[in-house]
Structure 1
Amino acid sequence: MSYVSLYVHVIFSTKERRKQIPEDVQPRLWAYMGGIARANKFKAIAVGGLEDHAHLLLSLPATLQVAKAVQLIKAGSSKWMHEELQRPLFAWQESYGASSVGVSQIPATVKYIDNQKEHHRKRGFTEELAMFLKKHGIVPED
């Protein structure tokens, strides 16, 4: 048996950063994304965001790649937005940002995800993503 502690902070935007997630829809969408994780045997410890992007703190088993977890959540939540909320034009961007999170950083990461509205009073998604990438030593591809 393998013993793994793998926590990943994932960020992705709506397609073309369009504001497609109204405030009244956000709690339902975030909860649905958590349900996708449970149904696929991984955990969404925190899910949040704003009208144009989502943040997730995921706990992944050794058998699941980050890319596959993100694909499951994006595909499932897009389908839900199309079918349940009658939003046929809703789409996520293809790319995403992800970084590992140490156990000691879980509370701060959860707080950050839960307080997205407050964080974005100071900076937009583009600036936030650039800071996230820089903080984690990720060089974006052009």
Structure 2
Amino acid sequence: MTGNLIYIYVHTVWTTKHREPCLHKSFRYKLFEHIRNHAHNKNIQLEIINGVEDHLHCLFKMKSTQTVAEIIKVLKGESSKWVNESGFVNNHFQWQDGYGVFSVSPQNVGKVKRYIFNQENHHKVKNIDDEFFEMINLLAE
């Protein structure tokens, strides 16, 4: 084999500071588009991004030279700066320090993409805590 073949997908979740519901629809999709463009510029393969008022989900296809920590640091740092400079929120905007990361097998990529795409529907009946524990329980099975 002359090259590398890498199929490592990760589903990440991170929240606003104190889970403040400040990602209003009025700018949320502009934020997601900004993160998508910044990821592209940094050679990060972001498959899908979506979320609700207090958190977002991303699906990344990793490269062999990248780490999850580096990717999230780059995207969280730059996007919080952009939100503050754009004036979309009244107070100083921050992301929570931590994040969740879940490995995704290639055969489940489509299912995870649909799950991320349908975030608003999921959160009509579940909050972030319920969602997070559900993901953990699915992995434990």
| Other-structure match for 2:121 | 118
The alignment partner of 1:110 has SS state of helix
Partners of 1:97 and 1:133 within 8 A in 2: no
Cα distance in structure 1, aligned partners of 2:51 and 2:12: 11
TM-score by length of 2: 0.91
What is the number of equivalent residue pairs in this alignment? 137
Cα distance in structure 2, aligned partners of 1:86 and 1:55: 20
Report 1:77-116 matches (<5 A): 77-87=79-89, 89-116=92-119
| Other-structure match for 1:129 | 132
Cα distance in structure 2, aligned partners of 1:22 and 1:86: 9
Give 1:52 shift.
0.2
Give the gaps of 5 or more residues in structure 1.
Answer: 138-142
Give 1:126 shift.
1.1
Matched, 1:63 2:61: no
Cα distance in structure 1, aligned partners of 2:107 and 2:118: 19
| Other-structure match for 2:55 | 53
| Other-structure match for 1:74 | 76
- Identity score, percent: 27
Deviates more, 1:85-94 or 1:59-68: 85-94
Cα distance in structure 1, aligned partners of 2:11 and 2:110: 12
RMSD: 1.3
Which amino acid letter does the alignment assign opposite residue 115 of structure 1?
A: N
The alignment partner of 2:25 has SS state of coil
Higher CA-based Rg: 2
Give 1:102 shift.
1.2
Cα distance in structure 2, aligned partners of 1:36 and 1:85: 19
TM-score by length of 1: 0.91
2:44 pairs, out of 42, 45, 50, with 42
| Other-structure match for 1:31 | 33
Cα distance in structure 1, aligned partners of 2:6 and 2:46: 16
Which amino acid letter does the alignment assign opposite residue 66 of structure 1?
A: V
